[in-house]
Amino acid sequence: MKAWTVVGWSYDADFHCPDCARARFGDATDDEDDPPEDSEGNEIHPLFAGDEGAAGEHCGDCFHPLI
């Protein structure tokens, strides 16, 4: 796995796996110019494999480890 691989998304004050984020936002997670907003009006942000602490995170929806 490369350090720049997206392993999750940050929104609604939690981390979520790519599958759960895609289920909620559809293909909008791929739109860098107009990222979707969560229920609090904040843009969602990717979590990369190389980010500090990424290895210890779990999805807030399905509870699977992100890495």
pLDDT of residue 34: 82
pTM for this prediction: 0.87
Summarised one tens digit per residue, pLDDT across range 8-62 is: 999 999 999 999 999 999 887 777 778 899 999 999 999 999 999 899 999 999 9
What pLDDT is stored for residue 12 in this prediction? Answer: 95
Both structure tokens of 39: 């229920």
- Provide CB contacts within 8 A for 26, sequence distance 6+: none
- Closest to 19 in 3D by CA, of 31, 7, 11: 7
| Residues in contact with 48: Cβ distance below 8 Å, sequence separation at least 6, in sequence order | 3, 4, 5, 6, 7, 54
Q: What is the pLDDT of residue 50?
A: 95
Domain range annotation of the chain: 6-56
- Specify the pLDDT at position 61: 96
